[in-house]
């Protein structure tokens, strides 16, 4: 039986509908500010974005729902948080050109978009000024010229924001321009959109990814098995059919996925969707997100339990990103 693809504008409609107020989100779920020990923030500076698909996966009436805790502006965000940063990974130090970061020798990262389908409250770029840092149309030529002049770079990473927030035509123009550079062999996209809005996998996107000469890797961002709906699994299957390698990165988050049982169930669900677990990040010290932190000793214990319960190929690498280091730092080395 053939799979019916979504109309090209379905995902854009969902993206436009993602903006929601705290009051409206709570009302939709039958909850009240008093259901949360520290209350909620009525009008946060980092606004709520929750697409209808993702909202439909949250359990109504449950203030502890792990998906809700990732997107609701809880009162803890406003608590004093000493030593928390607005640029926790010192990304300003790695800006090779407007819209381009180069932290590692063989890879270049392009901030392809300043938009995301969903606003995760722990996001390490929640304070980023995308107007100053994203890759605008006027900045593309300069960034690609730098990449073309450096044969040591063989992989281009599209990040943001979220590169899949770009319309198909604009994304295709960027991918085609990258593919012209002969020493680039791999295109990697980091995207939360595929979990938040599975309808983003359009026929045009599949044709683009299947048709490029580049090897395509998409690193999705999912933190909990409940995020991987049947619609999401079908979208991921279509991407695999287009020859895309699928990996997942998660963030270890207090009250969301901070047990070995939750992580193991998530890894098994990822594998059932054709996605291999890649990284489990410890939180970055971003201002406003300290309440998501899991301390390193607890993380080590959880990692050991996960290793004991899963085959090695399903165990994500527990890491922290340390500014200035040549690669992600394994938890055991911290």
Q: Where are the alpha helices (DSSP H) in 30-156?
A: 52-55, 68-71, 130-133, 140-148
The pLDDT, as a whole number, for residue 6 is 61
Q: What is the mean pLDDT of the chain?
A: 96
The pLDDT, as a whole number, for residue 7 is 65
Give the integer Cα–Cα distance in Å for 203 and 201: 7
- The answer, yes or no, to whether residue 3 has pLDDT greater than 60, is no
Q: What is the DSSP string of 253-278?
A: -TTTS-SHHHHHHHHHHHHHTT-EEE
- The answer, yes or no, to whether residue 2 has pLDDT greater than 50, is no
Question: How many other C-beta atoms lie within 10 A of the C-beta of residue 313?
Answer: 9
CATH architecture of 96-333: Alpha-Beta Barrel (3.20)
Query: Facing residues of 184 across strands?
Result: none
Q: Where are the beta strands (DSSP E) in 153-272?
A: 155-159, 186-191, 215-221, 245-251
The pLDDT, as a whole number, for residue 326 is 86
- What the block records as the tokens of 214 is 């580049």
Beta-carbon contacts of residue 163 (< 8 Å; ≥ 6 apart): 112, 113, 171, 189, 190, 191
Q: Among 244, 242, 238, 251, which residue's Cα sits nearest to residue 281?
A: 251
Residue indicated by tokens 């899991």: 294
- The answer, yes or no, to whether residue 220 has pLDDT greater than 60, is yes
Beta-carbon contacts of residue 311 (< 8 Å; ≥ 6 apart): none
Residue 128, Cα to own-chain centre: how many angstroms? 15
Q: For the CA atoms of the chain, what is the radius of gyration? A: 19
- Residues 93-118 pLDDT 10s: 999 999 999 999 999 999 999 999 99
- Residues 271-297 pLDDT 10s: 999 999 999 999 999 999 999 999 999
- Residues 306-321 pLDDT 10s: 999 999 999 999 999 9
- The answer, yes or no, to whether residue 8 has pLDDT greater than 80, is no
pLDDT > 70: what percent of the chain?
Answer: 98
Q: Give residue limits of the domains in the chain.
A: 10-78, 96-333
- Residues 32-85 pLDDT 10s: 999 999 999 999 999 999 999 999 999 999 999 999 999 999 999 999 999 999
């Amino acid at each position: 039986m053939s799979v019916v693809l979504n109309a090209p504008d379905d995902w854009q409609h969902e993206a436009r509908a993602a903006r929601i107020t705290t009051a409206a989100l709570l009302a939709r779920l039958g909850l009240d500010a008093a259901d949360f020990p520290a209350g909620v923030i009525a009008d946060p500076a980092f606004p709520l974005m929750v697409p209808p698909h993702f909202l439909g996966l949250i359990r109504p009436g449950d203030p502890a729902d792990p998906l809700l805790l990732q997107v609701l502006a809880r009162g803890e965000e406003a608590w004093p948080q000493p030593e928390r940063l607005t640029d926790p990974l010192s990304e300003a130090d790695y800006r090779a050109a407007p819209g381009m970061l180069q932290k590692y020798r063989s890879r270049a990262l392009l901030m392809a978009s300043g938009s995301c389908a969903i606003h995760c409250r722990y996001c390490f770029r929640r304070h980023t000024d995308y107007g100053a840092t994203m890759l605008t149309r006027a900045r593309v030529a300069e960034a690609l010229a730098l990449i073309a002049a450096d044969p040591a770079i063989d992989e281009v990473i599209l990040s943001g924001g979220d590169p899949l927030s770009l319309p198909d035509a604009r994304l295709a123009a960027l991918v085609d321009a990258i593919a012209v550079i002969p020493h680039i062999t791999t295109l990697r996209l980091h995207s939360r959109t595929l979990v938040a809005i599975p309808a983003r996998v359009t026929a045009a996107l599949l044709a683009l990814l299947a048709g490029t000469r580049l090897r395509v890797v998409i690193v999705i961002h999912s933190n909990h098995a409940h995020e991987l709906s049947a619609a999401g699994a079908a979208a991921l299957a279509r991407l695999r059919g287009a020859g895309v390698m699928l990996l997942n990165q998660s963030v270890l988050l207090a009250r969301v996925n901070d047990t070995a049982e939750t992580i193991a169930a998530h890894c098994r669900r990822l594998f059932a969707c054709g996605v291999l677990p890649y990284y489990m990040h410890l939180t970055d010290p971003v201002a406003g997100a300290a309440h998501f932190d899991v301390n390193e000793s607890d993380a080590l214990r959880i990692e050991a339990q996960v290793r004991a319960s899963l085959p090695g190929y399903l165990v994500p690498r527990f890491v922290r990103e340390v500014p200035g280091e040549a690669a992600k730092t394994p938890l055991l080395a911290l």
